[in-house]
Amino acid sequence: MNLMFDRIGSLFFALVGALFIAESQNISSSAYGSQVGPNMFPFGLGVILILLSLRLLWETYKKGVVASTSEPQSPLRYKRFLFILAATVLYVLLLEQLGYVIASFAFLLYAFTMMGSKSVLKSAIVSLLFSVGVYVIYVHLLKGTLPGLPAWLGV
């Protein structure tokens, strides 16, 4: 754990959360008179991102006070970060072609593996359940839209 990296990261993500909140106000509200409009999801994500960033900042502050120099800092893993960043860009580019479920499953499985998951089977099960679960909840229950399965599958 690198305390300085975590502190800078928490401030960066708090700013990203504030940007989400500010930009969500530019999205038009629902045309049907509903209280829940398209701006609620980015607004909620921004609030959650800010709260988690503040928590990380607080934890790094507490850890810095308790053990300022007693334990060695773990090295930053730039290579792993760059691989996951490249996978994220690839995920965004292939989302329409592969569909949400397939693209999310592949991305999550890769990310879990890169982060050091010991069991590929458990990672695959969690990735599949999460991808299908989010798709079912968002598309079928909330009546939202996500890219479905690709046409070349014939399903």
- Clarify whether residues 53 and 95 are in a common domain: no
Within-domain flag for 128: yes
Instruction: List, in sequence order, every beta strand (DSSP E) within the chain.
Output: none
Yes or no: say if 135 and 146 are a contact pair by the CB < 8 Å rule: yes
- Clarify whether residues 107 and 136 are in a common domain: yes
Q: What is the pLDDT of residues 11-32, one digit of tens each?
A: 999 999 999 888 888 877 655 5
Within-domain flag for 72: no
Within-domain flag for 21: yes
Range from 25-34, 51-60, 67-76, 95-104 carrying the lowest mean pLDDT: 67-76
d(C-alpha 20, C-alpha 27), whole Å: 11
- Clarify whether residues 84 and 141 are in a common domain: yes
- Clarify whether residues 82 and 145 are in a common domain: yes
Q: What is the pLDDT of residues 102-147, one digit of tens each?
A: 999 999 999 999 988 889 999 999 999 999 999 898 888 877 787 8
- Clarify whether residues 86 and 61 are in a common domain: no
d(C-alpha 16, C-alpha 44), whole Å: 13
Sequence-separated (6 or more) residues with CB below 8 Å from residue 123: 108, 109, 112, 113, 117
d(C-alpha 68, C-alpha 70), whole Å: 6
Within-domain flag for 71: no
Residue 35 predicted with pLDDT over 70: no
| % of the chain beyond a pLDDT of 70 | 83
98, amino acid identity: L
C-beta neighbour count of 126 within 10 angstroms: 16
Within-domain flag for 37: yes
- Clarify whether residues 58 and 87 are in a common domain: no
d(C-alpha 34, C-alpha 140), whole Å: 18
Residue 71 predicted with pLDDT over 80: no
- Clarify whether residues 149 and 84 are in a common domain: yes
What mean pLDDT do residues 53-68 have? 79
- Clarify whether residues 12 and 61 are in a common domain: yes
Which two three-digit tokens encode residue 6?
Answer: 């975590």
What mean pLDDT do residues 91-106 have? 92
Question: Domains in the chain: how many in total?
Answer: 2
C-beta neighbour count of 92 within 10 angstroms: 11
Within-domain flag for 59: yes
| % of the chain beyond a pLDDT of 90 | 37
How does residue 87 score in pLDDT terms, banded at 50, 70 and 90? Answer: very high
Which two three-digit tokens encode residue 103?
Answer: 């693209």
Specify the length of the chain in residues. 155
Q: Which domain holds residue 130?
A: 78-153
Last residue of a domain, one of 65, 92, 109: 65
- Clarify whether residues 49 and 83 are in a common domain: no
